[in-house]
Chains A and B, each alone.
Chain A
Amino acid sequence: MDWTALTVSLKLAAATLLVLIPAGLFLARALAWHRFRGRAWLEAALTLPLVLPPTVLGYYLLTGMGAGSPLGAWFQGIFGAPLAFSFTALVLASVIFNLPFALIPMQRAFEAIPREVLEAAQSCGMSRARTLWRIELPLAWPGIISAVVMCAAHTIGEFGVVLMVGGSIPGETRTIAIAIYDRVQAFDLQAAGVMSAALLFLSLAALAFTSRVGGTRLTRP
């Protein structure tokens, strides 16, 4: 068992959730309740990571974060280190490829709150913050939990995008999924087997938990 790789994976999952869940909540509410121009395109773009091959997504992310790209150059200028193949690049990529896994369950959960319930909150004189805290979040809770679990499990298991953007730097960008690949390449099938079993169990438990809490099921083509 490569504990360092597992730690990198868990750190990556935590960082991803920290960024993605608050941003996802804001986006999911906007998509659930507001009609605006270009909404269909925005929704399609946010769902794109579900259908794109990970290598394609990884390619665009890598070129977008390379030293020659505006983002890469800006990052290098500020932090004095390249963005590509860093843990930060991994977090950025992870946030992007997890967008649909966070957004879809949360958006559905917000959409399921009856409009009249939200109107009643206004008529009760509840402030926006109180309505969010007392009404919206508790009612959307199963969807939010679904999003958290799905994103965490998906981050820990993602391979293609992570390899493209992060490479396999031990302690920095080598996640458990990549460690399994490395072990197989080195014919260490026992270590690969232990880690694969751990990931299998983790994914199964996450799906079962999600199904129980939220009833939302996601499938990746």
Chain B
Amino acid sequence: MLEVRLHQQSPIPLEVAFTCPPGETLALVGPSGSGKTTVLKTIAGLYRRATGLLRVGGRTWLDSERGIALPARARAVGMVFQSYALFPHLSVLENVLEAACGDSGEARLRQALDKIASVHLSGLEQRRPQELSGGQQQRVALARALAREPAVLLLDEPFSAVDQVTRERLYEELAGMRRQLSIPVVLVTHSISEAQMLADRLVVLHHGRTLQEGSPREVLRQPASIEVAKLLGQKNIFRGVIERHDHDAALTTLRWGEVALRAPLAAGHALGAEVSWMIPAGLVVMQRPDRSPPRETENPVTGRIEDLTELGEATLVTLSFANCPDRLGFPVSTHAAQRYGLAKGATLGVSLLSEGLHLFSA
């Protein structure tokens, strides 16, 4: 279990606490400057200004109150740096050997060769880093990080320096590999989709503070605040008025402009109260013109297509509504947009899936 509690006043304030059990991947997400990398480097012992408590697998690495602060070289971390930070003058094997542990030279060599094989780089042991592709360099960095038999694996934006195709292949490999790892894995990323794909849990950071912690689904669908929702890229955030609570059906009815929307029961809000609410773009579903109208719980809404932006395989649709200044954005597949002849100015019906409506606490 990795247990982290960190504080710092300056140069950037830090107030972060989380835990990560073995075998779990936790993603620290947030915009640039939110303190993600500082947290990671503090765990690794490479940044020493933050105070607090750090425990890994029963061992204390940092306990400011008791004056404990192990140096980086004494912490069993496997760290993959954003730039990989391979030793440029050493071969792949030598890079991994520097981190390999074992009682004898032979054991270390076996360990290094094993790790190189595990990242599918056998045969390239004698190559120098500059003779490898970006993806291969990233694998060497991963092999080197794992060669130390670390108590925690730290990944600092490990996919930011590779092209899209390589990145997707590496995602799959890492996803496969992390199932076999029985240590906590902490991933720093500014990409929500990356975090969603690879992590079991997200910790959202902003200005050095933990804003929310939870499963990717929970954090994305039920952000704790508008601030979190915006940080996670949610754009469909609106204001509405609580109209009714139906405890039997576990639904709350929300007035949004001219329509009444059904949301999961949020009885904490008083009737008549004005609240902020959101719906993830992925839970706005286009109504097919050739199908019967959706049920009421699917919150049918009709608007006018204000904008269509084609982004490769997906097309981003923006809807506007009569007597309501809000704009609703959602993606449809470009194929569907073409098949149903979506065009600017046309009328379009959508469903705001009831389960996806989230009402923010006041």
* Chain A residues near B (Cβ < 8 Å): 114, 116-117, 119-127, 134-135, 138-139
Contacts and interface: CB of A to CB of B under 8 A. Distances in A.
Contacts of A135: 87
Given A120-B87, A124-B99, A125-B99, 11 more contacts: A116-B82, A117-B85, A117-B88, A119-B46, A119-B79, A120-B81, A121-B98, A123-B73, A125-B73, A125-B148, A138-B89
Nearest to B76: A125
Interface string B253-274: 0000000000000000000000
A124 B45 CA distance: 12
11 contacts: A117-B87, A123-B77, A123-B79, A123-B99, A125-B73, A125-B101, A125-B148, A126-B73, A134-B87, A134-B90, A135-B87
B352 to A, nearest CB: 46
Contacts of B79: 119-120, 123
Interface string B16-54: 000000000000000000000000010011100000000
A123 B98 contact: no
A219 B78 CA distance: 45
A127 B89 contact: no
Interface of B: 41, 44-46, 71-74, 76-79, 81-83, 85-90, 98-99, 101, 144-145, 148
A134 B144 CA distance: 16
A122 B76 CA distance: 10
Contact of B86 (A120, A126, A134): A120
A211 to B, nearest CB: 21
Contacts of B89: 138-139
Nearest to B99: A124
A198 to B, nearest CB: 36
Contacts of A122: 44-46, 71-73
Nearest to A125: B73
Q: Is the interface of B mostly helix, strand, loop or mixed?
A: loop
Most chain B CB within a 10 A radius of its CB, from A121, A123, A127, A138: A123
Contacts of A123: 44, 46, 72-73, 77-79, 99, 145, 148
A114 B82 CA distance: 12
Most chain A CB within a 10 A radius of its CB, from B71, B81, B145: B81
Contacts of B99: 123-125
Contacts of B45: 122
Nearest to B83: A116
Counting from the closest, the 9 A-B pairs by CB-CB distance are A116-B85, A124-B99, A120-B85, A122-B72, A123-B79, A116-B81, A119-B46, A124-B98, A117-B85
A119 B73 contact: no
Contacts, number: 61
A220 to B, nearest CB: 32
A114 B73 contact: no
Contacts of A114: 83, 85
B359 to A, nearest CB: 44
Nearest to A130: B98
Contacts of A116: 81-83, 85
Contacts of B73: 122-123, 125-127
Contacts of A120: 79, 81, 85-87, 144
A123 B40 CA distance: 12
Contacts of A124: 98-99, 144, 148
A118 to B, nearest CB: 8
A141 B89 CA distance: 11
Nearest to B96: A124
Nearest to A120: B85
Nearest to B71: A122
A64 B88 CA distance: 46
B47 to A, nearest CB: 9
Contact of A126 (B41, B46, B98): B98
A127 to B, nearest CB: 7
Contacts of A119: 41, 44, 46, 72, 79, 81, 85
A199 to B, nearest CB: 35
A131 to B, nearest CB: 9
B77 to A, nearest CB: 6
